[in-house]
Amino acid sequence: MDPISIALGLAQFVPSAIRFFSGDDTSKAAAAADKLIGVAKTVTGMDSGDEALAAIKADPALALQLQQSWMAHEVAMLQEDTRQLAEINATIRAEAASSDKYVSRWRPTFGYAMAATWTAQMGAVSWAIIAEPTQAPAIINAMVNTAPIWAIALAVLGVSVASRTKDKAIAAGATPPASLLAGLVGKVTGRG
């Protein structure tokens, strides 16, 4: 069997592992499958994923050991995620506390640069289409090719604006907004 199929077979014993195989990123799914198979081979002492899956299916004690070993692996991954988030938050706090005007004002600077760039590009495109109407299809196609660049830049700008708005509201004494999931749970339970 292929690694994903073996990992999905192992996931019946470790349901929390299934989330690592979902999504469109096949390289992440393959890496997660290899990791789960590696844990299963360690637990069973088998040389192949197929043999490890068969051994775990045959022995409930091995299934329990797989669950325990995978949980330890998940805890390690969560600790790494927590460490990375702590570093990101420390960076954001250092930026906010900086007395350097440029460091503390990079968000508005980026926003103004985006607005100026967009205005210049739209002006140039408009002028080019008016000056050479026969070239309009080629110009519009060229604009379409810039869409991924604009999407990334606007996503960065959107996250920056949203997080800064939230930071200002919290600094002014407002209660931090609930997450989307917490808001939905509140609506369903009648507490929101």
With bands split at pLDDT 50, 70 and 90, how would you rate the model's confidence at 34? Answer: confident
Closest to 14 measured CA to CA, from 48, 57, 45? 57
- Whether 66 contacts 40, CB under 8 Å: yes
pLDDT tens figures, 56-77: 999 899 889 988 998 888 888 8
Q: Tens digits of per-residue pLDDT, 111-147?
A: 899 999 999 999 999 999 999 999 999 999 999 999 8
Please name the residue that has the structure tokens 């000056």. 131
Give just the sign of the alpha carbon dihedral 170, 174, 179, 180: negative
pTM, 2 dp: 0.47
Q: What are phi and psi of 164, to 5 degrees?
A: -70, -40
Residue type, 182: A
Q: Work out the pLDDT band at 30, boundaries 50, 70, 90.
A: confident
For residue 192, pLDDT beyond 60: no
pLDDT of 81 strictly over 70 = yes
Q: What is the pLDDT of residue 78?
A: 84
